[in-house]
Amino acid sequence: MLTETFHGEAEIASGGAADLMSDVLAFTTEKNSLLLSGLTNQQVLRTAEMANIGAIVFVRGKIPPPPTIELAEKLSIPLISCCHSMYQACGLLSNAGLPDNGVASILCQ
């Protein structure tokens, strides 16, 4: 846990992973979703704000710079750092039953 912000009771309806912010923005859903990313700049937070992301997990143990954490507190979005690779982390969450938040890629429509 990297932030003071923590919504213990908040429910996460789905998950997604991307390092490309426009991809995150293309696949957003109505409900709170979880974003896994290897990117730690402030734009991840801005993207999360616009795309109803309920919490962000940074993979490979990445710790974002202080401005990113400050913005997260301001926007009230919890940040988590985990030691798994993106592939492992997605696999674990997917096996645990967290559904995918992507509807369809733009290219596949």
Partner 1 sequence: MSIKEKSKGKNEVNELTRVQELVYEVRVKEVMTSEVVTVSPDTTMRDLMRILRTKKISGVPVVDGGDLIGIISLEDLVKAVADRQRPQDTVGNRMTRKVVFVRADELAVQAVNLFAQHGYGRLPVVDNDGKLVGILTGSDITRGLLRVLSQRYQAEEIRRYRASHIFKDIDSEQTSLILSYHIAAGDFDHGGAATSKLKRALERLGANPALLRRVTISSYEAEMNLILHTTRGGELRVVINPERIVIITEDDGPGIEDAEAAFKPGFTTAADWVRELGFGAGMGLANIKRYSDHASIESLPDKGSRLLAVFEMSPPDKT
What distance in Å separates the CA atoms of residue 88 and residue 30, rounded to the nearest whole number?
26
Binding site for partner 1 (CB under 8 A): 4, 6-13, 19-23, 25-26, 28, 30-32, 37, 39, 41-44, 46-47, 49-52, 55, 67, 76, 78, 93, 96-99, 106-107
Dihedral (Cα; 51, 82, 97, 103), 10-degree rounding:
30
Nearer to partner 1, 85 or 94 (CB): 94
| CB 39, min distance to partner 1, A | 5
Retrieve residue 45's tokens.
């937070």
